[in-house]
């Protein structure tokens, strides 16, 4: 018995494998990171050890989760895009890459000279794999890849950027795969396909010769000259997790190392509360239904019945969330006590129209 227990223990011990994972999330946008947070937390719960460099530390006390928190002026990136600045002009879509470039450049200027990043570059700690966001800049990522010389995984909170797919060898035929910044569907006319093709090539060109060259200059300025250009590093991508789904974005070609993970941030659904109908309630409902059955087995026509239902509603809730614009005032509510919130009753009646004996005038209509 002791020998059998020892064999089982050794088998379990051999089958357990824990990785040391480095997470690199350079974009200071909370909406992006909230998509990745559940994945990172799940990895620690499964026994892996994480070190995450980014702007949003974990709000939970998780074992094996180490935050290297970068600082952003004003706490985080918000209130930078005003709706009145979006005119809807076609030209805005043509310069989407130039628009997000400014955020990537800002992120590089904030994070590259930071103490947290330099401590990570100079550490003797070893990691097994890197997980990083693929968005508008890889200035933090490429030096870390060269330092640790380990596989790296990209993850997105949106459709793949035009320049990201080729890093994993993924095709992006512009004849039916819309460019992210455009508003085309996967069913395009000939002119839309021409436009889509031009924008696909333009965005790749812009990233390669404008964005990548900019971030390479910043890496040399803040980190040193010993690191390679991003174009020589990113094509070694091992895996990309793309936050897309064919039901929203249409059928797209994906190589085996590009996986759709839409819904990744959604929590497991909670169990529904138990039914409030008791056995006597169910029995009463069944008896009511049986009372509508004629002796011949057919249901009553119910032409002379009026079905009434009612529902009580509170005019407001005790707590409410509101989305307002930057210049909009918060809605005001006043009540002496939460027990005194006004209740109203909504009543509905359903019946067939009633006619007089001559069937010319209606005595009861849907109104």
Note the pLDDT tens digit of each residue in 170-223.
Answer: 998 898 899 988 888 878 899 999 999 999 999 999 999 999 999 999 999 999
Which of 6-10, 105-109, 190-194, 302-306 tops mean pLDDT? 190-194
Q: Does 289 score more than 60 pLDDT?
A: yes
**Which residues lie below 8 Å from residue 21, measured CB to CB, with a gap of 6+?**
43, 48, 49, 50, 51, 127, 128, 129, 130, 131
- pLDDT tier at 324 (50, 70, 90 boundaries)? confident
Distance CA(203)–CA(98), nearest Å, equals 9
Q: Does 7 score more than 60 pLDDT?
A: no
The mean pLDDT of 310-315, rounded to a whole number, is: 84
Distance CA(8)–CA(209), nearest Å, equals 57
Q: Does 2 score more than 60 pLDDT?
A: no
Q: Residue 186 has what pLDDT? A: 79
Q: Does 236 score more than 60 pLDDT?
A: yes
Q: Percent of the chain beyond pLDDT 90?
A: 38
Q: Residue 336 has what pLDDT? A: 74
Q: Residue 156 has what pLDDT? A: 94
The mean pLDDT of 225-239, rounded to a whole number, is: 90
Query: pLDDT digit string (tens) for 139-163?
Result: 999 999 999 999 999 999 999 999 9
Counts of helices then strands in the chain (DSSP H, E): 10, 11
Q: Does 86 score more than 80 pLDDT?
A: no
Q: Does 358 score more than 90 pLDDT?
A: no
| Domain ranges in the chain with CATH number 3.40.50 | 17-260
Classify residue 66 as exposed, middle or buried by CB count within 10 Å of its CB (0-12, 13-18, 19+).
middle
Q: Residue 365 has what pLDDT? A: 62
- pLDDT tier at 317 (50, 70, 90 boundaries)? confident
| Residues 110 and 70: beta-carbon distance below 8 Å | yes
DSSP string, 68-134: EEPP-TTSS--S---GGG----HHHHHTHHHHHHHHHHHHHHHHTT-HHHHHHHH-----SEEEEE-
The mean pLDDT of 262-268, rounded to a whole number, is: 82
CATH architecture of 17-260: 3-Layer(aba) Sandwich (3.40)
């Amino acid at each position: 018995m002791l020998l059998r227990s020892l064999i089982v223990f050794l088998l379990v011990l051999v089958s357990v494998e824990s990785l040391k994972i480095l997470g690199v999330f350079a974009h200071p946008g909370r909406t992006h990171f909230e998509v990745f947070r559940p994945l990172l937390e799940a990895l620690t719960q499964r026994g892996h050890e994480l070190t995450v460099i980014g702007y949003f530390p974990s709000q939970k006390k998780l074992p094996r989760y180490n935050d290297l928190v970068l600082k952003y002026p004003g706490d985080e990136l918000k209130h930078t895009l005003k709706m009145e600045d979006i005119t809807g002009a076609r030209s805005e879509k043509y310069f989407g890459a130039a628009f997000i470039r400014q955020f990537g450049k800002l992120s590089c200027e904030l994070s590259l000279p930071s103490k947290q990043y330099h401590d990570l570059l100079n550490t003797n700690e070893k990691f097994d794999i890197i997980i990083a966001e693929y968005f508008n800049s890889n200035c933090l990522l490429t030096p870390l890849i060269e330092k640790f010389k380990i596989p790296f995984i990209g993850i997105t909170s949106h459709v793949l950027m035009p320049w990201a797919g080729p890093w994993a060898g993924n095709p992006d035929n512009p004849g039916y795969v819309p460019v992210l910044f455009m508003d085309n569907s996967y069913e395009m006319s000939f002119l839309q396909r021409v436009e889509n093709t031009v924008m696909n090539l333009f965005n790749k060109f812009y990233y390669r010769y404008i964005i990548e060259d900019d971030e390479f200059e910043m890496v040399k300025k803040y980190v040193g000259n010993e690191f390679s250009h991003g174009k020589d590093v990113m094509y070694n991508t091992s895996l990309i997790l793309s936050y897309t789904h064919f039901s929203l974005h249409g059928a797209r070609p994906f190589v085996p190392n590009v996986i759709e993970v839409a819904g990744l941030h959604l929590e497991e659904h909670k169990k529904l509360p138990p039914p409030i109908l008791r056995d006597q309630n169910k029995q009463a409902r069944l008896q009511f239904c049986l009372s509508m059955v004629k002796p011949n087995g057919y249901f009553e026509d119910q032409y002379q019945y009026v079905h009434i239902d009612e529902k009580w509603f509170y005019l407001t809730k005790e707590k409410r969330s509101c989305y307002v614009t930057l210049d909009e005032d918060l809605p005001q509510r006043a009540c002496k006590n939460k027990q005194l919130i006004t209740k109203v009753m909504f009543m509905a009646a359903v019946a067939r129209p009633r006619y007089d004996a001559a069937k010319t005038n209606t005595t009861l209509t849907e109104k």
